[in-house]
Amino acid sequence: AENEPSWETPCSELLVYVSTPGCDGFPSLDSKESYKLSVSKGSMLLSAETVWGALRGLETFSQLIGRDENGTYYINETEIVDFPRFPHRGLLLDTSRHYLPLRAILETLDVMAYNKFNVFHWHIVDDPSFPYESSTFPELSKQGAFNAMTHVYTASDVRTVIEHARLRGIRVIAEFDTPGHTLSWGPGAPGLLTPCYIGKAPSGVYGPINPIVNSTYQFVTSLFQEVSTVFPDFFLHLGGDEVDFTCWKSNPEIRAFMKEMGFGEDYKKLESFYIQRLLHIVSSLGKGYIVWQEVFDNNVKLRPDTIIHVWKDNSMQYMSEMANVTRAGYRALLSAPWYLNRISYGQDWIAAYKVEPLNFAGSHEQKALVMGGEACMWGEYVDVTNLTPRLWPRAGAVAERLWSNETVRDVEDAYARLAEFRCTLLGRGVQAQPLYVGYCDHEFGGV
Amino acid sequence: WELAADAVPEHSLWPLPQRVRTYPRQLQLAPSRFQLVHGAGSSAGPGCGLLQDAFRRGYYEYMFGHSRRRTRGRRPLAARAEPELFQLQVVVEAGDPGCDRHPQLTSSEAYHLTVTEPVAILKAYEVWGALRGLETFSQLVHEDDYGSFLVNESEINDFPRFAHRGILLDTARHYLPLKSILTNLDAMAFNKFNVLHWHIVDDQSFPYQSIYFPELSDKGAYSSNLIYTPTDVRLVIEYARLRGIRVIPEFDTPGHTQSWGKGQKDLLTPCYNGGQPSGSFGPVNPVWNTTYDFMTTFFKEISSVFPDEFIHLGGDEVDFSCWKSNPEVKEFMKKQGFGIDYAKLESYYVQNILDIVSSYNKGQMVWQEVFDHKAQLKPDTVVQVWMANNYAHEMSRVTGAGFTTVLSAPWYLDYISYGQDWKKYYSVEPLNFPGSEKQKKLVIGGEACLWGEFVDATNLTPRLWPRASAVGERLWSSSNVTNLEDAYKRLTNHRCRMLRRGIAAEPVFVGYCAHEAR
């Protein structure tokens, strides 16, 4: 027939050429992920500076392959030159509000790779539970996990996650959030948390980590010594968000300390006191750190290479926060408009897609300090029963915003590609939910 | 946090029965010896397939978990103080228990459960009540820390507050594979829902394979494998029946019918643009006789395929613009003296369909617009109230006009939002509208609707459960069961139980289950 494509000689191999060695290393913030892909008659070539670029190129190559009604696989002649707009493209999972079984984390890493995400931000512990099995402090998970036998991540589990991620060019950045968000640490580390008081007597309830006792800093040093060894990435996320001062204020020893230090009634100063010491400890362990924006907002003295994670989204104020953070010379990560746990009716992927991370008043140099961003899937209402459909394909909108050129914004075109990509995900066995009405050639088979 | 096990019996029942008394004394069950049997004097016996199926299917797996069926044990239970419960005897009292029938709006679902040693007794008027009682009994049995199965002595007297407790599934916006529908029928049974409102076709696709009009699905389904064959439909109906669930199909017309036009030429109204057909089509054409010939044959098939007494005829969201553009329709309006009131044309059409369906001895359910636009309904037509704006007033109007009504407006579960929205569904009081006692009796129940624009098999189960459970209790339990704290405890336990039974219900809040989803 006239309009039938003419089949050229079958392609038999894709040649992959990498110029810099590094197969056995770990990806980093500075890794080059660029690649060139050239598909033409008789030759298919993927070239990249690093293995990480090769991985990105392989994913793209896999997306170019089509299949016709006769079942024949084909690929069009193609020339691609590609590289990410932002070097830090992350996804946050929360394994404290709900435990996520290992296979859920590993599957998420697979799909992250399909979307060219390259950072897994593991918010591993928090108030409700402490699933991380620490070799230095085994009581932390024994007393703090939902169930110390079944709802924990063993050292082997953690190694598995890190290696599974590495093989996909994904960095694992662990977050041990302090001094707030630490209730689950208490049972396994007596004396770590601040005892709250009602009047003159302890109430039996505990608050944030106690910043005034030396034992706290001994504990923190030992724990982060272990964490620094277990997690190979240069960066650790130290949290520092939402510290509730009520308990500190109620504690007479802390009040006395505040007086002694001349902090007055400004508990932000006490928070800074703790964080500064924590940052110093972590620095001496040879790690860099990322902190939530409160640490910056509360005027803590930070190292110049600190990365500030902007998360507060009260009526689009996050853009001025991005401006402030970068104006002060710090690197920034954006998450505020990308809290994927905040579900709503309809095609909310569009709002995530339309975000422009550099849409703030600032100089060129400032904007160069934006490293990228992270889609966050907080776990209050999420566990393995609904994680995958809630993450995908919505997180794909964030993935493109962080990888592709800033001019790539047409929603209609994005819809067509994302809907097609969703069908591809289904074909790969991923339980990605629909974008809108319609169907895929291979519908989801499991239930 | 979510409790790992349903430790306290009062904290494990969902929906909460009308009258529950539990006693501290516990009885032990040995999975290898415990039996569900037909009691003496029951009008149902081993020939009652429905109960046999319920005994075997659910109550061993559901009560004791998967790996419990060991060979007959002779060893007495370990030296424990608790006496052994050997049997649950099921006694169905009505002369005709209903084993081979389909459940109806008027079926009795009441039961009386006495759990005491050595045998527990479940009495129900009809098999439908026995099914409800079996579910409750399975919720009373709990496992202790040592793996022993225990049940507290109890006395339960139960019946549903409302007779129509439904879930709407939409298989037109997205095809739902059979497995997905069947899994949800299981979940419905765990929550004592008794109606599956199957919104089977709509604008986007026509997956129902019609015997008389095979072109409808040939041309109208998303693709040739995304259909429901007559065998599939029979399977759904029987699977539902065995769980005491009615299947009410909805063939929504005259709007929501784009997909019908693909396989049935000249059914839909051709729209006009400046005197010429534009190429697009609107609602079903109400002026041609061929329309009513088609509907007569079509609903003859539907009436025989679906055994329930009711068929849902839709009638919502009819867009008049296409009718207004069509010269034949305009001519017809003039001839009929409808003026420019197209609601009259809609009513003319609907009345004809109601007559057709009535002639097949089926009752009809319609969406509220049919009532609002003043169509002449049959006296027993059921009106489904779905528009959220001021629905209490609509409830007053519909019942005030003497029609039975089903409430859905506050229970559109496809409208997801962040947080514990189950609480808002739970807090709805269906009879909270101005009206007399007589009016309020006309409210036969409600339906939680899961429209399919953004839902398919990848996210249906977690989106529906346990949020729909909140609606389930509101429709079954007494109106004074409103305490959110108590509901939270029971709902989280119930959710963990659904997980154990293979329903991927999403979490209510922070916490965990002893047996997480796999």
pLDDT of residue B10: 67
Give the pLDDT confidence of A361-402 residue by residue, as tens digits: 999 999 999 999 999 999 999 999 999 999 999 999 999 999
pLDDT of residue B78: 61
Q: Does B514 touch chain A (CB under 8 A)?
A: yes
Tell me the pLDDT band of B61, cut-offs 50, 70 and 90: confident
Distance (Å, rounded) from C-alpha B194 to C-alpha B121?
Answer: 23
Whether residue A212 lies inside any domain: the answer is yes
Between A57-66, B9-18, B392-401, the lowest mean confidence (pLDDT) is in B9-18
Q: Does A439 touch chain B (CB under 8 A)?
A: yes
Q: CA dihedral defined by B207, B213, B216, B221, rounded to 10 degrees?
A: 30
pLDDT of residue B58: 67
Pairing between strand B268-273 and B276-284? antiparallel
A43 and A121 belong to one structural domain: no
pLDDT at A96 over 80: yes
Q: What is the mean pLDDT of chain B?
A: 94
Top residue of B512, B513, B515, B518 to mutate, by most chain A CBs within 10 Å, is: B512
pLDDT of residue A408: 98
Distance (Å, rounded) from C-alpha A322 to C-alpha A319?
Answer: 5
Residue in B500, B516, B422, B489 with CA at minimum distance from that of residue B66: B500
Give A218 to chain B, closest Cα distance, Å. Answer: 31
Catalytic residue among A242, A365, A406, A420: A242
Domain annotation for chain B: domains and CATH numbers = 19-158 (3.30.379.10), 164-251+379-501 (3.20.20.80)
- Give the other-Cβ count within 10 Å of B444's Cβ: 17
Of A29, A64, A82, the domain-final residue: A82
Top residue of A423, A430, A437, A442 to mutate, by most chain B CBs within 10 Å, is: A437
Of A53, A82, A111, the domain-final residue: A82
* HEC per residue, A326-353: HHCCCEEEECHHHECCCCECCCCHHHHH
Distance (Å, rounded) from C-alpha A442 to C-alpha A425?
Answer: 10
Q: Which two tokens stand for residue A445?
A: 């088979």
A155 and A141 belong to one structural domain: yes
Residue spans of alpha helices (H) in B120-195: 127-140, 178-190
A251 and A309 belong to one structural domain: yes
Distance (Å, rounded) from C-alpha A237 to C-alpha A231?
Answer: 11
CATH code for position A260: 3.20.20.80
Q: Does A208 touch chain B (CB under 8 A)?
A: no
* HEC per residue, B463-495: HHCCHHHHHHHHHHCCCCCCCHHHHHHHHHHHH
A243 and A211 belong to one structural domain: yes
- Cβ within 8 Å, pair A345-B516: no
Give the pLDDT confidence of B22-39 residue by residue, as tens digits: 999 999 999 888 999 999
For chain A, the domain total comes to 2
pLDDT at B156 over 50: yes
pLDDT at A343 over 60: yes
Q: Once rounded to an integer, what is the mean pLDDT over residues B266-292?
A: 97
Interface list for A 65-104 with B (CB within 8 A): 97-99, 101
B183: left (phi over 0), alpha (psi -120 to 50) or beta: alpha
Residues 6+ apart with CB under 8 A from B41: B91
pLDDT at A355 over 60: yes
C-alpha gyration radius of chain B? 25
Interface list for A 404-433 with B (CB within 8 A): 426, 431-433
Of A36, A61, A82, the domain-final residue: A82
- Cβ within 8 Å, pair A128-B179: no
Q: Once rounded to an integer, what is the mean pLDDT over residues B365-369?
A: 98
Whether residue A445 lies inside any domain: the answer is no
pTM of full prediction above 0.90: yes
A287 and A151 belong to one structural domain: yes
Between B46-60, B158-172, B382-396, B418-432, the lowest mean confidence (pLDDT) is in B46-60
**Which domain covers residue A62, as residue numbers?**
15-82
pLDDT of residue B5: 41
Q: Does A22 touch chain B (CB under 8 A)?
A: no
B61 catalytic residue (yes or no): no
* C-alpha torsion sign, points B340, B341, B342, B345: negative
Residue in B74, B75, B78, B71 with CA at minimum distance from that of residue B149: B78
A200 and A223 belong to one structural domain: yes
- Give the other-Cβ count within 10 Å of B22's Cβ: 18
Q: Once rounded to an integer, what is the mean pLDDT over residues B107-122?
A: 96
Whether residue A429 lies inside any domain: the answer is no
Closest by Cβ to A447, choosing from B204, B226, B457: B457
A70 and A215 belong to one structural domain: no
CATH code for position A56: 3.30.379.10
pLDDT of residue A20: 95
Q: Once rounded to an integer, what is the mean pLDDT over residues B172-176?
A: 98
Q: Which two tokens stand for residue A410?
A: 């047409």
A123 and A161 belong to one structural domain: yes
Whether residue A424 lies inside any domain: the answer is no
Catalytic residue among B84, B126, B143, B317: B317
Tell me the pLDDT band of B2, cut-offs 50, 70 and 90: very low
A66 and A118 belong to one structural domain: no
Interface list for A 319-338 with B (CB within 8 A): none
Distance (Å, rounded) from C-alpha B343 to C-alpha B350?
Answer: 10
For chain A, give the longest Cα–Cα distance: 91
Give A67 to chain B, closest Cα distance, Å. Answer: 17
pLDDT at B11 over 90: no
Distance (Å, rounded) from C-alpha B168 to C-alpha A71?
Answer: 38
Between A34-38, A139-143, A311-315, B321-325, the lowest mean confidence (pLDDT) is in A311-315
Give B511 to chain A, closest Cα distance, Å. Answer: 6
Whether residue A432 lies inside any domain: the answer is no
Tell me the pLDDT band of A274, cut-offs 50, 70 and 90: very high
- Cβ within 8 Å, pair B458-A345: no
pLDDT at A421 over 50: yes
Of all residues in chain B, the one with the smallest CA distance to A151 is B512
Pairing between strand A73-74 and A66-67? antiparallel
- Cβ within 8 Å, pair B512-A345: no
Q: Which two tokens stand for residue B157?
A: 């007297």
- Cβ within 8 Å, pair A447-B512: no
- Cβ within 8 Å, pair B418-A381: yes
- What is the H or E stretch that residue A198 is in? strand A193-198
Give the pLDDT confidence of B448-492 residue by residue, as tens digits: 999 999 999 999 999 999 999 999 999 999 999 999 999 999 999
Distance (Å, rounded) from C-alpha B147 to C-alpha A55?
Answer: 49
A170 and A78 belong to one structural domain: no
A241 and A94 belong to one structural domain: yes
Give B228 to chain A, closest Cα distance, Å. Answer: 15
pLDDT of residue A316: 72
Strands (E), B235-390: 246-253, 268-273, 276-284, 310-314, 363-367, 382-385
- Cβ within 8 Å, pair A381-B509: yes
Which of chain A's residues have a Cβ under 8 Å away from the Cβ of B458?
388-389, 426, 431-434, 444
* C-alpha torsion sign, points B470, B382, B164, B361: negative
Residue B53 half-sphere exposure toward CB, CA atoms < 13 A? 14
Which of chain A's residues have a Cβ under 8 Å away from the Cβ of B416?
343-345
pLDDT of residue A91: 98
Q: Which two tokens stand for residue B194?
A: 């008794």
Give the pLDDT confidence of B298-326 residue by residue, as tens digits: 999 999 999 999 999 999 999 999 999 99
ipTM score of complex: 0.94
Interface list for B 132-191 with A (CB within 8 A): 173-175, 177, 179-180, 183
Strands (E), B302-430: 310-314, 363-367, 382-385, 404-407
Closest by Cβ to B459, choosing from A99, A129, A433: A433
pLDDT of residue B324: 97
Q: Does A262 or B117 have the greater pLDDT score?
A: A262
A195 and A69 belong to one structural domain: no
